Amino acid sequence: MSGRLLSAGLRLPRQVAADGRLDLMRIKCVLPSSHTQRHTSRRIYAQKIQHHQFHAFASLASQSRFGPLKSKKDDRQSSQEELNTAKGQDEPHLSRKEKRRERERRAQERRDQERRDQERQKLAGDEKSHSQKENQPKNETKRREAIRRTLRVVFTLAAGVVLYEMRTLAYWAEPLNNQTFSPFEIVDRQQVSPTAFIITVKPSISGWDGFAGQRKLEWLDNLQHELSRAGTWAVEIKQPELQVARDYTPLPDPDVLSAAHEDNARGRTERTLRLRRDSFFPRFTIPTVKFLIRKTDGGEVSSWLSRRKVGDIVELRGPHQSFNVVGRVGAKEGDKRVVFLAGGTGIAPALQAAGSLFQEHHQAMKQMPRIDIIWANRSREDCRPDNPVIHILEKLKEKSQGRINYVCTVDEERSFITANDIITKTQIASPPSGQPSQTPTTPPPWRKSWFWASPSSPQAPPPAPQTGRSLSNTEKDDADCYFHSPRRLTTSAGEDYEKVDVGKKSNSKWECTCCKKLGGGVSLGKPSFKNLIMVSGPEGFINHFTGPKYWADGKERQGPVGGVIGELARKYPSLASDWLVLKL
Ligand SMILES: Cc1cc2nc3c(=O)[nH]c(=O)nc-3n(C[C@H](O)[C@H](O)[C@H](O)COP(=O)(O)OP(=O)(O)OC[C@H]3O[C@@H](n4cnc5c(N)ncnc54)[C@H](O)[C@@H]3O)c2cc1C
């Protein structure tokens, strides 16, 4: 209690409102009875208070009533200050040091209070955010879960694709290549005569290969298609015990020589779809390779092959392409002829040649050359209708609307191929009534030295081209054109191709230049040789009809034309000028 109030006989009751405010208006004035009794009456004393202290007291009361009281201590302090002011003392009697301490204390209190407030707010904020988190909408969580699941699926798929591609690349060893031997499984074996049999092989693909295996089949199918378009080709089969290999000629499949094998987008799509279907439904055919093989007595590879059974593995290397038959026959002019003399298994290249020409012309059959195949066999059994080779020949004959024809000769029945047969098929003359003339006609001078086989030295390499006189256009034509120059052909090994590149339009290394214009705008006109005589079979067979091949630079060359056909060419100049002879 301040001294002033005490002197006025007042004392402050502890009237604290419920809201923490001190209501000084409710302070009672209490008059000490002792005082009243000793000095004056109540009325006089009240007037005294009114005059001297009431205003200060009321002012203090009004200020305190509306000012917030933070604590009882503050209230007391504040009241003390006010009372001091009312009493005329502006500040309590404190030393400077005490005042400074007091200020610091208050500042500290303010800071503490602020800190407490901040903490309280922060706590309240945390609680709020926590409750917000808890109350996050469920669909948000679901959305995130869905995104995570999608990402997991995408990642798994991508990883699968990458692994598949890596595996495919690893397994992308082509089912057949020129460098190494690739395994093929024998899926069928058929005996067609006492000495001849057909084996069917497919790339050795396990179920584990999956799509990679399917790609191999597709590749093989495309390869066969590419190869069958142009001409003749063969692959090597290895005898693993002796590590020796021999060439064998795949038979064409007449069922795939159709419109489905057109070399356009539709044809390719059809082929791919057929393969996809076949890979999923094994009852359909899958691409295979067929070989007609004759077991030769004492033969290393053919004898070994004759002992193979279905399910055995054989190793193949290739393909090795030889003659581009389509390119050599020349432009599509129709009325051309191809005569094929085949002995025994030599029928296989004949079928390939016929198949390639059919493939080339199947859309315009009238432009297709007429093909006559004379097939020489040892026994009648080889020519039975149930022989698969006869089946292929019949199919080709049917599909080509009769432009492909064949006849069988049988050694046992002494029905050999004769010169008359060649004259008839080539139509170089009307068939002579008796034996063909033994007197050779004079060959054309510009072919004299290198076209004709010399009987005394059949294996002599062809002499150099003649010099010392200007060549006629026809001669230039022959000399310049790889396909139609007999001089070039004489020294050729029959390699008309570079490496087979599946999917390319043409794999031919050489092109016919007969019809191309040379310098000065001189057109050389049509190729001189537009018809083909092809001879394929055992060595003796080839030697008999065309004269022997010869070796040069480590390769077997065609050599000059001799034998029966050489004789005929001497007699019939049109044979020499219009026909090209190929030895296979
Ligand atoms: C491009 C091409 C395609 C061919 N396509 C086919 C085909 O489709 N089908 C087919 O059946 N053939 C084909 N051949 C032939 C085939 O390549 C083989 O030449 C034939 O199968 C014989 O091979 P082989 O290993 O069994 O006989 P080899 O061991 O080569 O023997 C051949 C002959 O020589 C004899 N001989 C071997 N060694 C000796 C010796 N030391 N002394 C005496 N005589 C011996 C054997 O008795 C036998 O008669 C093709 C050849 C080529 C070049």
Is 191 inside any structural domain?
A: no
Q: Which range of residues forms the domain containing residue 10? A: 3-93
- Testing ligand 1's pocket by substitution, the residue of 201, 238, 248, 497 carrying the most ligand atoms inside 8 A of its CB is 248
- Say what the pLDDT of residue 17 is: 46
- Testing ligand 1's pocket by substitution, the residue of 296, 495, 558 carrying the most ligand atoms inside 8 A of its CB is 296
- Say what the pLDDT of residue 456 is: 37
Overall domain count for the chain: 1
Is 45 inside any structural domain?
A: yes
Is 66 inside any structural domain?
A: yes
* CA of 294, closest atom in ligand 1: 11
Please give the C-alpha separations between residue 376 and each of 384, 408, 410, 460, in angstroms, as whole numbers. Answer: 13, 6, 6, 29
Could you tell me which of 183, 153, 155 has the C-alpha nearest to residue 171?
183
* CA of 322, closest atom in ligand 1: 1
Indicate if ipTM > 0.85: yes
Q: Which residues contact 447 (CB under 8 A, 6 or more apart)?
A: 486, 576
- The span from the CA of 545 to the CA of 541, in Å, is 7
Instruction: Please give the DSSP secondary-structure letter assigned to residue 538.
Output: S
Average pLDDT per 10 consecutive residues for the chain, totaling 584 residues: 44 46 46 50 56 53 47 53 52 78 93 92 77 72 92 93 65 72 92 91 73 70 75 92 94 68 62 63 66 92 95 91 81 77 94 88 82 92 89 90 91 87 85 47 35 38 40 50 78 70 54 55 52 92 92 86 91 86 92
Residue nearest atom 51 of ligand 1, based on CA coordinates: 247
- Say what the pLDDT of residue 160 is: 85
Helix, strand, coil percent content, the chain, rounded in steps of 5: 45, 15, 35
Is 89 inside any structural domain?
A: yes
Is 137 strand, coil or helix?
coil
pTM of the model as a whole: 0.65
Is 174 inside any structural domain?
A: no
Is 557 inside any structural domain?
A: no
Is 58 inside any structural domain?
A: yes
- Say what the pLDDT of residue 364 is: 79
Q: How far is CA 265 from its chain centroid?
A: 17
